[in-house]
Structure 1
Amino acid sequence: MKLSYNEATAKGCSDLLTDLELCEKAGFDYIEIRLDMLEEYLREHTVGELAKFFKTSRLKPHAMNALYLYPEFLSDSDDAEKQRELMNEFLFGCEVSKAIGSHYFIIVPPLQRDPLGGPFIGDKEKTFADCVRILSKLSDIAEYYDINLCFELVGFNRSSVRSISEADRIIRAVNRKNVGFVFDSYNIYLNGRLNDFSQLQAVEPDKIFAVHLISGLEVPDEEMGQDKRCFCDRGVVDIDNFLGNLKKTGYQGMVSVETFNPDYWKQAPQQVIHEAFQTLEKKLLENKCI
C-alpha cells in the first residue's frame, strides 16, 4: 500500500505550496488536494507550476477533495444557479486533475451539513435513486477527463448514506468502471460506533479506489463528528480490524491521513505532517501492509 496525505489534516495552519514541500520531505507517495486550498494556491501560482512540481517530484497527486452532493442535483427539480455552481466546482477539479495527472475525485453523498441542524431527513429509496442518477451523470463527464469517482459514505446521522451496504448497493446499480469507493475508517465507525469492518470484503474489490485511515477521540455520541478525528495510532477505531479486512480484499492502493481536528491546526504544519507520516507508516508496518 502507498502512503498518502489529505490536506484537511493541516488545513488551518498550512497551504498547498507548504503541503507539497513538507509531504515530499516526509516521504509521502501521494497527496489529496482540497479544492478550496487549490483555489487559494492559484491566486498566486498557475496550474502549470503545479503540474511541473508533480512532474519532477516523487510525490504524486491522488484525489481531488471533495464534491458535496445535494439530493436535487442534476434532476428536473434542480435549481439552475445552484446546479451551475456545483457543476463549475466539479469541472474545475476535473480540468486541474487532467493537467497535473490526478485520476480520482472524492464524491460525498447528500449531508445535512449544519452540526446543530439535526439528522438528515430523507427516504432511503429516494437517496438511492438520487445517488445513482447523479453518479451516472457525473461518470459520463469524468470519463472524458480520465477521472474515477470515489463515493464516500459518512456514518453519522446527518448523512444520507451511512453504511457500507448502502454505498455498495448504489455503486452496483451505477455499474460504471470509473465509479467506486473511498473507505474512511472513522466515517464507517460513526455509524453506531461500528468497529467490525468485515463488510469491506462484500464489495467488489476492484471498486475500492482510495482509503482514509483515521481514528477518533472518545467522546459522547452527541459530540461525535469530523472535528474529533485523530491519527491512527490512538483513539477508538479498531484500526487493526479495518486493515485486516482491507488486506483480505487484495487492496494495494493508497492509504491517506485525513483529519479535520482543530487542535492539529494550532500546531506548525511541519509537526502535523511529520506526525501524520510517522503514525501512518507505523500502523501500516505493524499490519504488514507495506
Structure 2
Amino acid sequence: MFISYNEACARDCSTLEQDLVLCEKAGFDYIEIRLDMLTDYLKRHTVEELAAFFCTSRLKPHAFNALYLYPEFLSEGDDEARQKELLEEFRLGCEVGRAIGSHYFIIVPPLQREPAGGPYTGSWEDTFSNCVRILKELSRRAEPYDMNLCFELVGFERSSVRSIGQADAVVRAVDRPNVGFVFDSYNIFLNGGCNDFSAIGSVQPEKIFAVHLMSADDVPEAQRGQDKRCFCGRGVVDTGAFLQELKAAGYSGIVSVETFRPEYWAKTPEWVIPNAYKTTRAALAENGCL
C-alpha cells in the first residue's frame, strides 16, 4: 500500500504550496488535494505550475476532495444556481486532474451538514434512487477526463448513506467502471461505533479506489463529530482490523491520512505533516501493509 496525505489535516494552518513541499520532504507517496485549497492556490499560481511540480516530484496527486451531493442535484427540480456552482467544482477538479495526472474524485452522498440540525430525514429509497441517478450522470461527465468517482459513505445519523452495505448497493446499481468506493475508517466507525469492518469483504474488491485512515477520540456517540479524528496510534477506532480487512480483500492502493482536528490546525504544517506521515506509516508497517 502507498502512503497518502489528505490536505484536511492542516487545512487551517497551511496552503497547497506548503503541503506539496512538506509532503515531498516527509516521504509521502501521494497527496489528496482539497478543492478549496486548490482554488486558493490558483489565485497565485497556474495549473501549469502545479503540473510542473508533479513532473519533477516523487510525490504524486491522487483524489480531489470532495464533491458534496444534495438530493435534487441534476434533477428536474434542481436549483439552477446551486447546480451550476457544484458542476463548476466538478469541472475544475476534472480539468486540473487531466492536467496533473490525477484520476480520482471523492463524492460524498447527501448530508444534513449542520451539526445541531438533527439526523438526515430523507428515506433510503429516495437516497438510493438519487445517488444512482447522480452518479450515473457524473460518471458520464467524468469519462472524457479519465476520472474515477470514489463514493464515500459517512456513518453518522446526519448522513443519507451510512453503511458499507448501502454504499455497495448504490455502486452495484450504478454499474459503471469509473464508479467505486473510498473507505474511511472513522466514517465506518461512526455508524454505531462499529469496529467490525468485515463487510469490506462483501464488496467488489476492484471497486475500492481509495482508503482514508485515522482513529478518533473515545467520546459519547452524541459527541462523535469529524473534529474528533486523530492520527493513528491512539484512539478508539480499530485501525488494525480495518487494514487487515483491506489486505484480505487484496487492496494495495493508497492509504490517506485525513483528519479535521482543530488541535492540529492550531499547530504548524511543519508539525502536522511529518507527524501525519510517521503515525500512518507506523500503522501500515505494524499490519504488514507496506
TM norm structure 2? 0.99
User: C-alpha separation between the residues in 1 aligned to 2:194 and 2:152?
Assistant: 16
Written as runs of structure 1 = structure 2, the 5 A alignment for 1:169-184 is 169-184=169-184
**Superposition deviation, residue 81 in structure 1:** 1.0
1:219 partner letter: V
Matched, 1:284 2:284: yes
User: C-alpha separation between the residues in 2 aligned to 1:260 and 1:144?
Assistant: 32
2:38 partner letter: L
2:33 partner letter: I
User: C-alpha separation between the residues in 1 aligned to 2:198 and 2:232?
Assistant: 19
User: C-alpha separation between the residues in 1 aligned to 2:161 and 2:154?
Assistant: 6
User: C-alpha separation between the residues in 1 aligned to 2:234 and 2:48?
Assistant: 39
> Which residue pairs with 2:30 in the alignment?
30
1:41 partner letter: Y
> Which residue pairs with 1:211 in the alignment?
211
> Which residue pairs with 2:10 in the alignment?
10
User: C-alpha separation between the residues in 2 aligned to 1:70 and 1:121?
Assistant: 13
User: C-alpha separation between the residues in 2 aligned to 1:104 and 1:216?
Assistant: 26
> Which residue pairs with 2:71 in the alignment?
71
Q: Which runs of 5+ in 2 are unaligned?
A: none
1:104 partner letter: Y
Written as runs of structure 1 = structure 2, the 5 A alignment for 1:103-142 is 103-142=103-142
User: C-alpha separation between the residues in 2 aligned to 1:243 and 1:48?
Assistant: 36
Q: Deviations over 1:208-253 (max 9, x none)?
A: 0000011110111111110000001110001111011110000000
> Which residue pairs with 2:81 in the alignment?
81
TM norm structure 1? 0.99
**Aligned Cα RMSD in Å?**
0.5
1:271 partner letter: W
SS of structure 1 residue aligned to 2:73? coil
Deviant stretches of 4+, over 4 Å: none
1:254 partner letter: I
2:40 partner letter: E
Matched, 1:102 2:93: no
User: C-alpha separation between the residues in 2 aligned to 1:46 and 1:80?
Assistant: 29
**Superposition deviation, residue 160 in structure 1:** 0.2
> Which residue pairs with 1:60 in the alignment?
60
Matched, 1:220 2:220: yes
Q: Deviations over 1:130-150 (max 9, x none)?
A: 000000000001111000000
User: C-alpha separation between the residues in 2 aligned to 1:68 and 1:155?
Assistant: 15
Q: Which runs of 5+ in 1 are unaligned?
A: none
User: C-alpha separation between the residues in 2 aligned to 1:222 and 1:248?
Assistant: 32
User: C-alpha separation between the residues in 2 aligned to 1:73 and 1:282?
Assistant: 41
Q: Deviations over 1:50-109 (max 9, x none)?
A: 000000000000000000000000111111111111111100111111111000000000
User: C-alpha separation between the residues in 2 aligned to 1:288 and 1:32?
Assistant: 23
User: C-alpha separation between the residues in 1 aligned to 2:176 and 2:158?
Assistant: 27
